[in-house]
Structure 1
């Protein structure tokens, strides 16, 4: 796996990864996300977190060129927040009930139905951040 830089971890429960959203790296990213959630004692959120992060990264891979992005994981009192920042200002779209047999188009529907909260935020200087909040027992 080739990350743009090694993970930056702080004692406050924050992890930052600079990476290219390439499918060949998704397995390694899932392992990193899983490891941090285990470290933070949030094992009940691992499955949801890896699904959401993978789907958001897949959107970056398909729709953003170049596909460099930043993944930020935050261990917060109310849950775990995962956010992916990229250089495109085009917002993701949730497609409901259309073309379920197609090869694409379901990613944000999966995110919206897996995360407790999700949204997008514009980034100063251009681009956006797509984020999810996952809560245990929600």
Structure 2
């Protein structure tokens, strides 16, 4: 089975409380664009928890980078920030990392020269045909002041040219497939 190419989206922002709903809408638009609608609620919730932790523990002016990456089998969301301390998993009822752990198949943290990265992954095994079409990530999504973010229209299925009927006694020709 051929899997789609690696797709990713990255955005840098300040971790203010007002930005969390905007980032959730932007990430939801990208997941919808990649035909990963079923993963919108858990991924957006997990990223919101991580951004809230940045806001709470480092400050509202802390710069952070949110990244989505889909390899065709795994969807990874990460938040990188400038805080030097690695977070610790607390009780299951505490929110934060315990919520991220509950929403994901795996998660982790790592220190970087600039601070740290916290990531989580979800398996995305059952691809529909429309997920196999080549698509590039959305480059940017304008601020919509509370309006839903709508990605540009994309064909739901690859375009398949019909196969001409084979002449009597001749071998059938292969179908030509073009991806929009």
> TM-score w.r.t. structure 1 length?
0.80
Contact 1:48 1:134 in 2 (8 A): no
Name 1:135's counterpart in structure 2. 123
- Equivalent residue runs for 1:108-123 within 5 Å: 108-123=97-112
- Quote the residue 1:21 is aligned against: 15
SS at match of 1:28: helix
Does residue 79 of structure 2 align to residue 84 of structure 1? yes
What is the alpha-carbon distance in structure 2 between the residues aligned to residue 136 and residue 96 of structure 1?
Answer: 28
Task: Show the counterpart of 1:31.
Answer: 25
Higher strand share: 1
Q: Which residue of 2 aligns with 1:63?
A: 57
Q: Which residue does 2:153 correspond to in 1?
A: none
Structure with bigger gyration radius: 2
Count matched residues. 121
Deviation at 1:35, TM superposition (A): 0.5
Aligned Cα root-mean-square deviation (Å)? 1.9
1:136 Cα offset (Å): 3.4
Q: Partner of 1:90: helix, strand, or coil?
A: coil
Check conservation: 2:86, 2:111, Cα contact below 8 A.
no
Summarize deviations over 1:82-122 as a string: whole Å, max 9, x none: 1110011211121115xx5xxxx421111111111100122
Does the alignment pair 1:96 with 2:63?
A: no
Give the Å deviation of 1:12.
4.3
Point out the structure with the larger helix share.
1
- Report the equivalent of 1:4: none
Q: What's the secondary structure of 1:93's corresponding residue?
A: coil
- The residue correspondences of 1:33-52 to structure 2 (distance < 5 A) are 33-52=27-46
Structure 1 unaligned runs (5+)?
Answer: 1-10
TM-score by length of 2: 0.62
